[in-house]
């Protein structure tokens, strides 16, 4: 019972593991080593002159290498400059393409591609310009000179018609029976000035601008009659509204001053006729170099008619009317 009376929480035998015979025999040859205290006075005095290096942060190390920083900045700057040059090249290329598209649209006469500038009217004028005209932009260099000459011929034609009014007025004052010439001269000036611009000058301008075969043929057809009219005006048949040579010579015996004025205008009509024949030949020679043909003119006319809005609406209305009539006939 004695073993049950002992305290179970107390070791019955205090055993020291270092008192084991095998342990003490192994440690007999080892000298006594004192307890090491790094913070003791002796250790502190021994290591007082030793400096322990402190590792510096990467940011400070980078700041201590300026050559590498400058190289990195130079590389970044070079990259930015290269990108800027590429962007500038792309912008210049886009501007060039945009200008080319504008030129193509302007030569094609697309609506809204450019603002009309002819006739050159002041901004406060209630009527706006009706046409666009720019020889340097629209007309190729090889046709530019002949096109300008046609424009100068048209202006000379208008000036001659205006002087014809003054000559016929003096003709009428010298002899009252020639009042009809004065009235017709006013009519010719009002009628032929815009009609000549639209019917033969603008077609030749469009022909040289877009190399249009239809415009060339239209110009030849109309301008041939214009040259014939110049010849009739030069002849000066009385009571036709023209101060030509016949009418001027007939006034020499009656009034020499009026005859001189009429002869000057007759000379203007003669110059118109001569220039008209010369320029007609010049335009025809240029036309033969452009590669235009009657077949192309027919194709351009067909395409122009079929794409015309007025023609399409008229054809639609005609077809609708015909269909309605057919249904009414056969209910």
Distance linking the first and last C-alpha atoms of the chain: 137
Report pLDDT for 311: 41
pLDDT tens per residue across span 108-136: 555 455 788 888 888 888 888 888 999 98
pLDDT tens per residue across span 75-109: 888 888 888 888 888 888 887 877 777 666 655 55
Report pLDDT for 83: 83
Tell me which residue of 205, 101, 108 sits closest to 150, measured CA to CA. Answer: 205
CB–CB of 150/204 below 8 Å?
Answer: yes
**134 φ/ψ angles, rounded to the nearest 5 degrees:** -155, 100
Chain centroid offset of residue 191 CA: 36
Report pLDDT for 10: 53
Ranges under pLDDT 70 in the chain: 1-67, 69, 102-113, 290-331
């Amino acid at each position: 019972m004695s073993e049950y009376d002992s305290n179970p929480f107390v070791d019955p035998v205090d055993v020291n593991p270092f008192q084991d015979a095998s342990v003490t025999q192994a440690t007999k040859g080892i000298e006594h080593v004192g307890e090491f205290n790094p913070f003791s006075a002796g250790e502190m005095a021994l290591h007082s002159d030793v400096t322990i290096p402190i590792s510096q942060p990467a940011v400070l190390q980078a700041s201590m290498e300026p050559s590498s920083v400058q190289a990195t900045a130079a590389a970044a700057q070079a990259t930015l400059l290269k990108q800027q040059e590429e962007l500038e090249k792309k912008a210049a290329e886009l501007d060039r393409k945009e200008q080319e598209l504008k030129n193509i649209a302007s030569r094609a006469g697309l609506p809204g591609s450019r603002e009309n500038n002819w006739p050159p009217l002041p901004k406060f004028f209630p009527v706006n310009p009706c046409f666009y005209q720019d020889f340097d932009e629209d007309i190729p260099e090889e046709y530019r000179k002949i096109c300008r000459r046609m424009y100068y011929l048209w202006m000379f034609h208008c000036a001659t018609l205006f002087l014809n009014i003054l000559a016929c007025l003096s003709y009428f004052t010298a002899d009252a029976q020639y009042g009809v010439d004065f009235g017709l001269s006013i009519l010719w000036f009002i009628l032929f000035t815009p009609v000549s611009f639209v019917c033969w000058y603008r077609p030749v301008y469009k022909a040289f601008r877009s190399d249009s075969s239809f415009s060339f043929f239209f110009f030849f057809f109309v301008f041939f009659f214009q040259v014939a009219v110049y010849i009739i005006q030069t002849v000066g048949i009385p009571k036709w509204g023209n101060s030509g040579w016949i009418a001027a010579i007939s006034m020499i015996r009656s009034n020499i001053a009026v005859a001189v004025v009429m002869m000057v205008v007759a000379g203007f009509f003669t110059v118109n006729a001569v220039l008209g024949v010369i320029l007609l030949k010049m335009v025809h020679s240029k036309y033969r170099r452009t590669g235009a043909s009657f077949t192309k003119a027919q194709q351009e006319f067909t395409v122009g008619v079929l794409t015309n809005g007025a023609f399409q609406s008229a054809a639609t209305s005609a077809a609708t009317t015909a269909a309605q009539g057919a249904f009414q006939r056969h209910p």
